[in-house]
Structure 1
Amino acid sequence: MSASYDVIVLGSGPGGYVAAIRCAQLGLKTAIVERENLGGICLNWGCIPTKALLRSAEIFHYMQHAGDYGLKAKEIEADLEAVVKRSRGVAKQLNQGVTHLMKKNKIAVHMGEGVLTGPTALTVKGEKGEEKLTAKHVIVATGARARDLPFAPADGKRIWTYRTAMTPPEMPKKLLVIGSGAIGIEFASFYNDMGADVTVVEMLDRIVPVEDKDVSDFLEKSLKKQGMTIMTGAGVEDVKADAKGVKAKIKGKDGKVSEQEFSHCIVAIGIVPNTENIGIEKLAEMDRGFIQIDPYGRTKSKGLWAIGDCTPGPWLAHKASHEGVTAAEAIAQKLGNTDVHPHGLDRNNIPGCTYCHPQIASVGMTEAKAKEAGYEVKVGNFPFIGNGKAIALGEAEGFTKTVFDAKTGELLGAHMIGAEVTEMIQGYVVGKTLETTEAELMQTVFPHPTISESMHESVLAAYGLALHI
């Protein structure tokens, strides 16, 4: 069987399915190729189901601390099986939602393994046998997978990646988390709240190392206060698993190696792009497996585009979705649509969110990066303890930090840690996209009482004008 389209999207994650929808909205005959689940890793095994798990852990945490709010709750227990079941139900609901969106937008879905046979052609081996598909343009959105430890590949029993950690065969008693990026810290936070004894090992000198140093330092103190063991500047040199548990040799900051025992281990040391065996190597420039693209998603081959986690980072779902829309509109423009005006991706305006407890959110440059780039900076920092809403919620742990160019007032970066900061960061993202300065932010009226007032106060603090500290 063969078929021809305007656009074929290879992969249906948050980049792929959004790209397909936008192509269809623009009147292009569109198909999507998916080998496993519509919605990809994010929807089925990543962003969404993990947030469902973390929500359960958050509620459990509040129930255990009911007395802090003048309430009484007895015999509080966590049912891990029920928590996981709820999470999988959320993922299933959203998977069905993507299926509906494909039908609504009249996007042809080809389930199977897709392999490029040229820049604008591919074969699909799947439920319909072998299909040969051609298009005017192809968007590669194959995503990425968890990186294994070379000396201890995940076995799904004692050594886990995020996928097993979302559907655990049992509750860990003593958990080793290797890596302190967003995935590692989120699972560390979840299992710690659920009652596990958690140790996090990070080879760099601080946890969540892509964040501002003040955020890293604050989070480490908070997690230690919650009972976690945090080892920075440390490396796991060997991991051996058996039916009873895991033995790990960990080299500490002092250079000494200790052998420690754990019930389970989660490996969260980064990702590997899914670009092997898809026929991409001769069609695009590659760097460590990642497809190299311009700000619109174009590769070196005419008609071949790439988006999302199979391209350079940051490796975030919302970045992939935005790239999908950009590529779709650039393709439509190429095919003669004069009503679309795509803009190349500005990576400096992509927010990052980590849903640990407390939450982290940021956009733009850290203070250190801004100084490295040659900026003279003004920095404001406002603690949540000075915010009435945070105190009333019993969530006075956290702060908002802003970094400005001292010469022009340009907002260079914003960094937040505390309750619901992942829901507030978009205020700064909008500001950066509009190329705001401190003047506009100072003149913005923030509602009271909200935690978002800390954003205003942080801006004021950068210029020595804070009102509530």
Structure 2
Amino acid sequence: MADTNYDVIIIGSGPGGYVTAIRAAQLGFKTAIVEREHLGGICLNWGCIPTKALLRSAEIMDHANHAKGFGLTLDGTMKADVKDVVARSRGVSARLNGGVGFLMKKNKIDVIWGEAKLKKPGEIVVGKPSKPAVEPQHPVPKGVKGEGTYTAKHIIVATGARPRALPGIEPDGKLIWTYFEAMKPSKMPKSLVVMGSGAIGIEFASFYRSMGVDVTVVELMPNVMPVEDEEISKFARKALEKRGLKIITEAKVTKVDKAADSITAHVETKDGKTSQIKADHLISAVGVQGNIENLGLEGLGVKTDRGCIVIDGYGKTNVPGLYAIGDVAGPPMLAHKAEHEGVICIEKIAGVDGVHPMDHRKIPGCTYCNPQVASVGLTEAKAKADGREIRVGRYQFNANGKAIALGEDNGMIKVIFDKKTGELLGAHMCGAEVTELIQGFVVAMNLETTEEELMHTIFPHPTLSEMMKESVLDAYGRVLNA
């Protein structure tokens, strides 16, 4: 008879789930992970990774279209083969999917294939998935366990999230897309309406614009990427519009008319005026919602709020022995937040010394559009709302030698310090490779660095990172290269 008893069972193998499983195994727990669709979850298969592969194709297209500015001549016309662009993206995903399977075997973690339901504390029943895979390109891995009843002292829910749908504008997979369909078009559309300008919406808007598509973004809030610092948001909008994106803010799509091969979006602005935009497709990117259904949470009395499981700072729910991490446990719905949250959860269970709740102010956010946007900590508005006296520093890419040499001189870095203590409260960036630069400020904030340490840090020359130091110097009236 197969062994069905574990120390830890994790439901969901996305970034939060599989990383938590590995850490649990490292800590000596007998561990299993339950998955119903594909190892790696949405992030690896349909989110973070494959979208970045698409955006890399878009980046190369952008560079090629500006080759003359670098003294280069391309013979012929640069064209995108949508089939090959999508195939590369799916190939990247498949490669990493196999890598997660390898990590499970390496760490002696059992994989249970199917859909889990909580029957009582410490027990799950795994059955056949009620929801088919989005695209069954990944077969069920060999050597996995299947349907049955499994027990564990600790059960961690890491079931992730899915696209949110607005009533009356539900995605149909044909004319109204979510990111699933937007990631694998059979042919390149000529025009698109993108509903929502968060990270998902703006990344797809940027990708399709690079591919020559006429793109209109409709955003309910006053600024695109509304969670970002207002100044950075406005800077990014100007850069995106310069690339040809059409952006309508303080507006909403009230309904969508469908024809045989096109849509007409009815757009209403805050002043009550309406207009109609005809396009080949509409991408619905109005956020995501936690996957809390069909898990048996109600039967156990698990507390939820606004579609997410309520937890404390260590992933504990109100039911003993039951935990939740990642998107299903609430915002920010980011892969790196899920991973760290999972490590905190399992280390607390194991009694590891020094474990403390995650500081949400120190979770970086990144948007991989062109130009990129990245941030961590408080925005200027939030810092002021908190009653802080602040110093603000800024530095433009057009004053940096490396940025000019790269032909990427449109960007800015903004930092916010507490005027009294020198504490770094926030950092906000827009420009080339800022998603790679932001970690420098994240590390600084975790080390409780003040402006003094940053000013005495030697940044290599010539690099984009030099601008980080210059922005700090600017906050204190000491900028050198501007």
Shorter-chain TM band: over 0.9
Aligned-residue offset at 1:340: 4.4
Counterpart pick for 1:329 among 347, 365, 368: 347
**Which runs of structure 2 are paired with 1:423-434 in the superposition (5 Å)?**
423-434=436-447
**Within 2, Cα distance between the matches of 1:455 and 1:299?**
40
Distance 1:435 1:283 in 2: 40
The aligned residue for residue 336 of structure 1 is none
**Residue correspondence of structure 1 range 203-242 to structure 2 within 5 A:** 203-242=220-259
Residues 1:25 and 2:43 aligned together: no
State the one-letter code of the partner of 1:57: A
Where does structure 1 differ by over 3 angstroms across 4 or more consecutive aligned residues?
A: 126-130
Q: How does 1:80-119 map to 2 (within 5 A)?
A: 80-119=82-121
> Aligned to 1:191, what secondary structure does the other structure show?
helix
Q: CA deviation at 1:118?
A: 2.0
Where in structure 2 are the equivalents of 1:72-87 lying within 5 Å?
Answer: 72-73=73-74, 74-87=76-89
Matching residue's letter, 1:212: D
Structure 2 residue matching 1:15: 3-state secondary structure: helix
Q: Which residue of 1 aligns with 2:310?
A: 292
Could you tell me whether the CA contact under 8 Å between 1:118 and 1:283 is conserved in 2?
no
Deviations 1:227-281 (A, max 9, x none): 1110000110001223220011101243211122111110000111100110123
Cα displacement (A) at 1:285: 1.5
User: Where in structure 2 are the equivalents of 1:190-205 lying within 5 Å?
Assistant: 190-205=207-222
Contact 1:2–1:131 (CA under 8 A) maintained in structure 2: no
State the Cα deviation string for residues 277-296 of structure 1 (Å, max 9, x = none): 10123442210120111111
Unpaired stretches in structure 1, ≥5 consecutive residues: 334-338
In structure 2, distance between residues paired with 1:289 and 1:2: 34
Q: Which amino acid aligns with 2:371?
A: P
The 8 Å contact of residues 332 and 340 in structure 1, kept in 2 or not, is answered as no
Deviations 1:297-342 (A, max 9, x none): 1111111110000012110000000011111111112xxxxx5432
- TM-score normalised by length of structure 1: 0.97
- Residue 454 of structure 2 aligns to which amino acid in structure 1? L
- State the match for 1:147 in structure 2: 164
Q: CA deviation at 1:130?
A: 3.3
Segments of 5+ residues of structure 2 without an aligned counterpart are 129-139
The CA distance in 2 between the partners of 1:179 and 1:351, in whole Å, is 21
Query: Is residue 442 of structure 1 aligned with residue 460 of structure 2?
Result: no
Three-state SS of the structure 1 residue aligned to 2:119 is strand
| Mapped partners of 1:158, 1:192: distance in 2 | 18
One-letter amino acid of the counterpart of residue 304, structure 1:
L
C-alpha distance in structure 2 between counterparts of 1:253 and 1:383, whole Å = 33
What is the match of residue 64 of structure 2? 63
Q: Deviation digits for residues 7-52 of structure 1, max 9, x if unmatched? A: 0000000000000000001110000000100000000000000000
Residue of 250, 254, 263 corresponding to 2:280: 263
Partner residue of 1:161? 178
In 2, distance between residues paired with 1:402 and 1:408?
15
Show CA shifts across 1:45-94 (max 9, x none): 00000000000000011011100100001321111110000000000000
Is residue 48 of structure 2 the alignment partner of residue 43 of structure 1?
Answer: no
CA contact (8 A) 1:329 1:341 kept: no
- 2: CA distance, partners of 1:112 / 1:119: 19
1:354 aligns with 367
Residues in 2 aligned to 1:118 and 1:331: alpha-carbon distance in whole angstroms = 20
Partner of 1:463: 476
Q: Does the aligned pair in 1 maintain the 2:290–2:330 contact within 8 Å?
A: no
1:182-193 map, 5 Å: 182-193=199-210
The aligned length equals 464
The answer to which of 244-253 and 317-326 deviates more is 244-253
Q: Which residue of 1 aligns with 2:322?
A: 304
Whichever residue aligns with residue 121 of structure 1, its letter is E
| Segment of structure 1 superposing worse, 146-155 or 159-168 | 146-155
Is the Cα–Cα contact under 8 Å of residues 416 and 425 in structure 2 kept in the other structure?
A: yes
- Residues 195 and 217, structure 2, Cα contact 8 Å, conserved in 1: yes
Partner of 1:441: helix, strand, or coil?
A: helix
Contact 2:82/2:186 (CA < 8 Å) preserved in 1?
Answer: no
Match of 2:131 in 1: none
Deviates more, 1:389-398 or 1:152-161: 152-161
Fraction of identical pairs, as percent: 59
- The alignment's TM-score, normalised by the length of structure 2, stands at 0.95
Partner residue in 1 for 2:435: 422
